[in-house]
Structure 1
Amino acid sequence: MKQYQTIIQVIGALLAVLGATMLLPALVDFQDANPEWRVFALSAAVTAGTGLLLFLSTRTVERATLRLKQAFLLTAAVWTVIPAFGAIPFLGLGIGYADAFFESASGFTTTGSTVIAGLDSLPRGILIWRAALQWVGGVGIIVLAMVILPFLGVGGMQLFRAESSDRSEKVLARSSDIVAWIAFIYCGLTLLCTLAYAAAGMTFFDALAHAMTTLSTGGYSTHDASFGYFQSPALEWIAVFFMICGGLPLVIFIAAARGEVRRFLREPQVLAFLVFLAATSFVAAVWLSIGRGIALEEALREVAFNIVSVVTTTGYATVDYTLWGPLAVSFFFVLTFVGGCTGSTSGGIKIYRFIILFQVIKRQFRTLANPSRLETLKYGGTRIPDDVPPSVLAFLTLYIASTAVVTLILAALGLDFVTAVSSAATAISNVGPGLGDIVGPAGNFSTLPDTAKIVLGIAMILGRLELFTVLVLLDPEFWRW
């Protein structure tokens, strides 16, 4: 049981930190003379109290090394327990726990789907809490865990690896250095985004809240109309820039900050990501301009904002793009699966995997044409390890299968096909808005059955941890320590 006690100790420490975080919105509401501050204060007491109880009850456990299997279990446990407690403040809105858990899971996984309406009239405390959920969920939970684990005598690098099934090149030797740089880059970009939003016309509160949900590619807004509330081209282009930053690998920013600026141009997935966004935005803008008879500049802004929002899995919306016709609906549904770069805060399949898939398909075509030909798969001029292509293909298969299973479950609960399949896709991909009148860019998930909300909340966590980290726990072999 020693390994489980270590996991409980870490979860307890994180819950204590989460409880302390709840004091921020409590202070905001207290400053506004809003009685809702008591809800956050009570939630903080319950969460931090539970965390301290778990931590202190396992404090006598001798220092242990976190093995890879424990890292998987700890990662899955953290991303389930933390949203469960993060849901408590939402109960103050008078909603049920299923709605509260959905909102919290959507926040921590940076999905951005919501069941809450009337955002414009809500207290500022609950609005900043929603933003804080996504900002912390972007990279914060893993960073906190890696900071806390060394004090417990537990190696943290395994946890960083377990959160994503991909491999990222280590730009620094020590995990503690990586954590420090990630925190510095993440906070720095958030500050720059806040200042840019404020300079372009947002209030400081809106600027801070939207900066937190832009860099985390989460998409929670302080207004029901999402980013369309501001009706500002300048703000939209600023958001496009920082959403793209959120979709780029954080290690690229670390390398650039350390003087390796050329690494931006040498990283294949970064180039592919930027070229894909530019090409699709331009083609779609021309199509929209011709079809709707509007200026190309306006069409480019509308298209670029919404394409970048969906591809980076941010989920902001300025217009209801489903009104652009069946082709646009199908186009944005396909974009739901793309995602940003590996090592970023975005969800989706990720550009890196598409590059590997393209290499595999290209080799297969050439092998069919010339069976005796031997071709080595390369990524950025480096040979791709033999175990990478099978793992990518396995992930893609599991990704499609998971989306199909969630779709069937939602359909069994009474949802129509468009709502069911788009809800499943947006949950697994952590995008936010789905398609149709109910869960589309102009709607929300409040009218879905409670069971469907719980299923989607679990699907969001499954997608955020990239499937394998959670589903490996269902393998009986996993539990044979």
Structure 2
Amino acid sequence: MDFRTIASAIGALTAALGLAMLLPALADLAVGHPDWQVFLVSSLITTIAGAGLWGASTGGEAVLNLRQAFLMTVLIWLVLTLFGALPFYISDLGLSVSDAVFEAMSGISTTGATVITTLDSAPPGILLWRGLLQWFGGLGVVVMAIAVLPMLRVGGMQMFKAEAFETPDKILPAAAQIAMAMTTIYGILTLACATAYWVAGMNPFEAMVHALSTVSTGGFSTRDASLGAFAQPAIHYVSVVFMVLGALPFVLYIGVMQGSVRQFFGDSQVRLFLALLAFATLIAISVQVAGGIAGGETAFRQGLFSVVSVMTGSGFGLADFSAWGPLAVSLFFVIMFIGGCTGSTSCGIKIFRFQVLARDLYQHIRQIVLPSMVYIKRYNGRPLPDSVSTSVQSFVFLYFASFLILAVLLSLTGLEPLDALGAAATAISNVGPALSPELGPNGNFASVPETTKWLLAAGMLVGRLEVLMIVVLFTPRFWKA
């Protein structure tokens, strides 16, 4: 394995991360906060380390092979997390190494869980850095889902390599153009979201920070109470709209830009995703009304916001759904595992995987009832190869196995059973809030043991990298020449 190519890519991205640290430095300098020095020092360390690694590793192969792609993808997330944790650790927030790594991993994996309890008084640089980490992580997830995972055949993603690049009606002629187009769309959505937040009542700085974490479906806020700190309902509805937009396939946005709106709404996973959102919202509203918790527009807004926040993996908080009763807790526990669409910034078990499992189950039942009948599985009108079904089944099995193992390990660190299950689910699914009052939408992870934080950070990485990618690295055959 030629490690020079891997090191070169990691070095370039690390240097870019270091340069991005100058933005929060400027934000602190503009208000006269001394934390600008924290970001300047962090930027110098990160940029020099990244540039040095890039310079020392030039001359590698221009094309990545399969093993290099697996290793590079995992290492990028790990290295960027460690360097992204520098400002948190050096700042005056008083965070330990465990806290800093947890916060950085939560940011770059777009999970949104936090250990910071003083957001209302935190310097603007820290708040902006948290938003930037999520924005970079969300963009990286989109690129990974479109360009990397299909090549690695992770969790059935090979189906989308065919759809994006090999069909007769190609959206764009080259993968590089698709990546550039998606980056442009990502930026446009972010600016539109920031503008909408500002018009709805946020100040410009908070509007931009929240836009960075909304479009990326991350969930970091500038307030301890998250979006519940803002009384304007318009802000909550703006958040709902852009959380949903962030959880839809970015490849389809390219088609919309070219005038193919019909293709967008004709996508089966988009229709199912919106239908599940509506159904879960109806249950959440009914629970509030039946329990006398809220009624009218408030029940509708709280139910819609909470369901969208959890299903898209954003994790913003508005109301404490853990206090709505056992039915609500069960509902949100289930929808934590249901992610958005493929090629989006969302997380969890993507909608298309549930569709593939449903088609496999239907085929199996048909063959039991009518053994002689030939049934061709299809997805969006195209035949569904058996390799995709096998990949999806393997992914889902490993996903829930990872969840159960993490829940057991968390319980061994001292968490109560409900806390352990909720924390494991929210980490693996990159959602953010857990199910209990202490770790739910109105709580945070500051009080959990250090070991718990490291386990949760590992769970976030496993969930963000689609489980299979991590498992492959632990197989002895992968490291054999």
Normalising by structure 1, report the TM-score: 0.94
Q: How does 1:213-362 map to 2 (within 5 A)?
A: 213-292=213-292, 294-362=294-362
State whether structure 2 residue 14 is matched by structure 1 residue 15: yes
CA distance in 1 between partners of 2:192 and 2:140 (Å): 18
Q: How does 1:35-50 map to 2 (within 5 A)?
A: 35-50=34-49
Would you say the 8 A contact 1:71–1:159 is kept in 2? no
Q: CA deviation at 1:352?
A: 0.6
| Letter of the 2:249 counterpart | P
Cross-structure match for 1:71: 69
Q: CA deviation at 1:293?
A: 6.9
Aligned residue for 1:439, secondary structure, equals coil
Would you say the 8 A contact 2:287–2:328 is kept in 1? no
Gaps of 5+ in 1: 147-155
Which moved further from structure 2: 289-298 or 69-78?
A: 289-298
- Superposed CA offset, 1:33-68 (max 9, x none): 111111111111111111111112122x24432111
Matched length: 469
Cross-structure match for 2:471: 471
Aligned residue for 1:292, secondary structure, equals coil
Cross-structure match for 2:432: 432
Q: CA deviation at 1:373?
A: 2.6
- Superposed CA offset, 1:109-156 (max 9, x none): 00000010010000000000000000010014775x99xxxxxxxxx9
Normalising by structure 2, report the TM-score: 0.94
CA distance in 1 between partners of 2:197 and 2:406 (Å): 37
CA distance in 1 between partners of 2:351 and 2:142 (Å): 22
Q: CA deviation at 1:289?
A: 2.0
Cross-structure match for 1:151: none
| Letter of the 1:44 counterpart | S
CA distance in 1 between partners of 2:249 and 2:148 (Å): 19
| Letter of the 1:126 counterpart | I
Which moved further from structure 2: 226-235 or 105-114?
A: 226-235
Would you say the 8 A contact 2:323–2:437 is kept in 1? no
Q: CA deviation at 1:448?
A: 1.3
Aligned residue for 2:261, secondary structure, equals coil
Would you say the 8 A contact 1:120–1:224 is kept in 2? yes
| Letter of the 1:49 counterpart | I
CA distance in 2 between partners of 1:434 and 1:278 (Å): 22
Relative to structure 1, is the Cα distance of residues 25 and 424 closer, same or farther in structure 2, using a 3 angstrom cutoff?
same
CA distance in 2 between partners of 1:96 and 1:163 (Å): 38
Q: How does 1:412-427 map to 2 (within 5 A)?
A: 412-427=412-427
Cross-structure match for 2:408: 408
- Superposed CA offset, 1:267-307 (max 9, x none): 10000011111122124323422331743332111100000
Which moved further from structure 2: 77-86 or 361-370?
A: 361-370
Relative to structure 1, is the Cα distance of residues 94 and 283 closer, same or farther in structure 2, using a 3 angstrom cutoff?
closer
CA distance in 2 between partners of 1:376 and 1:297 (Å): 46
Sequence identity percentage: 44
- Superposed CA offset, 1:56-90 (max 9, x none): 2122x244321111011000000111001100000
**Cα RMSD (Å):** 1.8
CA distance in 2 between partners of 1:219 and 1:405 (Å): 25
State whether structure 2 residue 108 is matched by structure 1 residue 87: no
Would you say the 8 A contact 1:72–1:469 is kept in 2? yes
Cross-structure match for 1:28: 27
Q: CA deviation at 1:413?
A: 1.4
Which moved further from structure 2: 116-125 or 405-414?
A: 405-414
Aligned residue for 1:73, secondary structure, equals helix
Would you say the 8 A contact 1:311–1:339 is kept in 2? yes
| Letter of the 2:54 counterpart | F
CA distance in 2 between partners of 1:163 and 1:123 (Å): 43
| Letter of the 2:69 counterpart | A
Aligned residue for 1:444, secondary structure, equals coil
| Letter of the 2:74 counterpart | A
